[in-house]
Structure 1
Amino acid sequence: MSERLDAWPELDHAELAPMVDYVNRISQVAGKYTLDYPFEAGWGNVVLEVTPRGLGTPVFRHPDVTFTVHYRLLDGDVVIETDKDERRLPLTGGSVAAFYQAFCDAAVELGMPRPRTSLICEIPDSPATFEDDRAERTWDPHAARLMWQAMNMASSGLEAWQAPFLGHRPRVGVMWGGFDLSATRHRAQPTTPPKDAPTFMQNAQLNAYVSVGFSFKNVPDRPSIGMYAYIWPQPDGLEGRSWGVDGATWEADAGLVLLPWDVLRRTEDPHQAIVMFGDAVYQAAIDTADWPSDLVGPRVDGWRASRTPASTLQHMHG
């Protein structure tokens, strides 16, 4: 038990909240570039990858410059890399406004466009723009490492859950608006978003989907860290179901299935528990919302298959 708990660290909401809030804001700066690219169902085009050292954007290919931005949480800096040169911006202190100015200055020097908007989105009670956010921030290396470690471990489980799905499934990654790690499965079933929903939700909810993910702030106005899931549109019949892992519960008021981090890390195999949690949510979609069961293929061991005589023979003659 002690080895497992050491591997899956204890996460304290109060300790991590200031850093989560800071990284959420600055990650939106480079995240804005993803909005210039073709829209994928459920905003699959915008996610930031969980890298070996932090969070990375996709590669952006402009006519005059190709670039990527890497928020290196384990190093306390942001690396902007282009086909011509690179710049490193330290995150040792300062404000969001100061970071945004430094980022834009570096972008101009590297021949990149500035982000087309500086609006801060999906953060309640936030200043309107990056330029307006002048509160002084403190970089906490320990909190940054815990954040990365949690997202890295959750990513591994979510990627394993997604692997056998045969339908549209954007890559697992961080939605930089709400700052949640997301894995979604989509089906071609047009839906009607609520008319009073913000534009980004109107676009996200054009078709049915199942979402499973990890968040440092699962429920608004309630300290909570862990896995979440929901089915859009929300079907009836979710009360009283089993969600694959003891301690996972349906929270009707939030419209979410929740698996708290502290419960997850105490399971016998947290990685497999994420897969079981996701499978239970998808089974609920099958049972209550007529999702097709044949969109999920078998889970196979590719490495074992690659060592069979038939595979070896085929490789030799290929």
Structure 2
Amino acid sequence: MTDRNDSDGSWPSLRVDDWTPTRDTLHMWTQIVGKVRMTLSPLINHWWQVTFYVSARGLATGAIPVGTRMLDIEFDFVDHALVLRTSDGGIATVALEPKPVARFYGEVLEALTALGVDAPISATPNEVDPAIPFADDLVHASYDADAATLFWRQLVQADRVMRAFRAHFIGKVSPVHFFWGSFDLACTRFSGRSAPPHPGGAPNCGDWVMVEGYSRELSSCGFWPGGGEEGAFYAYAYPEPDGFADAAVGPDGAFYNSDFRQFLFPYEKARTATDPDAAVAEFLQSTYAAAADLAQWDRRNLECDPRRWDVEPGRQSMS
């Protein structure tokens, strides 16, 4: 599982088949923590208030308002602990180790209570089928610490490249963030125009959730730890413009999946490329350009050069 073909080990290999039980358990654990953030946070367009962010140790919620205090929660994939902290100095931890979802759920509730945080959540997972209530889930109980660390290291690489890609857009654009419902890292650009109501259809998830998420015309990209042998980068547009599926995109190995209605670039293709960063960047840019051109986005006023201040005459670089 830990064999790596890249030159310095920064793009790790992690076969999907080797860690599926851990991935499925971790998916449920992230939903529990994500729902805590959701119940305590005011709505931000497209559900941006519910997501996690890649951190220097794992996946973190960022600061969550709790009355006059702040709470943050982090999946630490170095020391393998869920760490809960409050702005008044409180701290609680839950071990990340093999245990059923039901036990993890109870331990998270106990940790919140110890910190004086009341966060009643909808205690059933979304976007999965079957949706076993957290308190009853004795099925998902795997945790391979090495696999969890490798997954986080995959996210670190995807996050780096996606942040650089995000910086070239001056229009409305999401953070690079992790959605616990679909269990993927995403970044979304918007044209500024409204979109037709999304038809919904995600399992155990109200259609109104997708209507909010897709209320504006968009081009989205990300990394999903499924598809391909080691996960896949993806890109799609909503609404999908005519001709998008037939667009010429790069690099070699990228293809359109008609079942998912999105382009995919297998992670293993990126990892083994001569320049993984450049390969992923080409995929992100070429798929975005196809969506934006076919839908006639105002690219001139939506895009920018993130290094535009570096070489201004008479001004010293800030870097």
Distance 1:7 1:234, change over 3 A: same
The CA distance in 1 between the partners of 2:271 and 2:131, in whole Å, is 32
For 2:135, what is the secondary structure of its paired residue?
A: coil
Q: Which moved more, 1:66-75 or 1:206-215?
A: 66-75
User: Which of the residues 15, 18, 43 maps onto 1:15?
Assistant: 18
- The reply on whether 1:144 has 2:144 as its aligned counterpart is no
- The reply on whether 1:122 has 2:131 as its aligned counterpart is no
The CA distance in 2 between the partners of 1:187 and 1:38, in whole Å, is 24
Instruction: Give 5+ residue unaligned stretches, structure 1.
Output: none
Q: Determine the structure 2 residue equivalent to 1:74.
A: 78
RMSD: 2.2
Distance 1:122 1:267, change over 3 A: same
- The reply on whether 1:287 has 2:293 as its aligned counterpart is yes
- The reply on whether 1:187 has 2:196 as its aligned counterpart is no
Instruction: Tell me the matched-pair count.
Output: 307
The CA distance in 1 between the partners of 2:253 and 2:308, in whole Å, is 29
Q: Determine the structure 2 residue equivalent to 1:47.
A: 51
TM-score, normalized by length of structure 1? 0.89
User: Which of the residues 163, 166, 177 maps onto 1:162?
Assistant: 166
Q: Determine the structure 2 residue equivalent to 1:208.
A: 217
The CA distance in 2 between the partners of 1:239 and 1:122, in whole Å, is 25
Contact 2:70-2:86 at 8 Å conserved across structures: yes
Q: Determine the structure 2 residue equivalent to 1:276.
A: 282
Aligned-pair CA distance for 1:236: 1.3
Q: Sequence identity of aligned pairs in percent?
A: 26
For 1:98, what is the secondary structure of its paired residue?
A: helix
Instruction: Give 5+ residue unaligned stretches, structure 2.
Output: 202-206
Contact 1:65-1:111 at 8 Å conserved across structures: no
- The reply on whether 1:232 has 2:238 as its aligned counterpart is yes
The CA distance in 2 between the partners of 1:249 and 1:136, in whole Å, is 33
Q: Determine the structure 2 residue equivalent to 1:38.
A: 42
For 2:134, what is the secondary structure of its paired residue?
A: coil
Contact 2:5-2:271 at 8 Å conserved across structures: no
TM-score, normalized by length of structure 2? 0.89
Equivalent residue letter for 1:24:
H
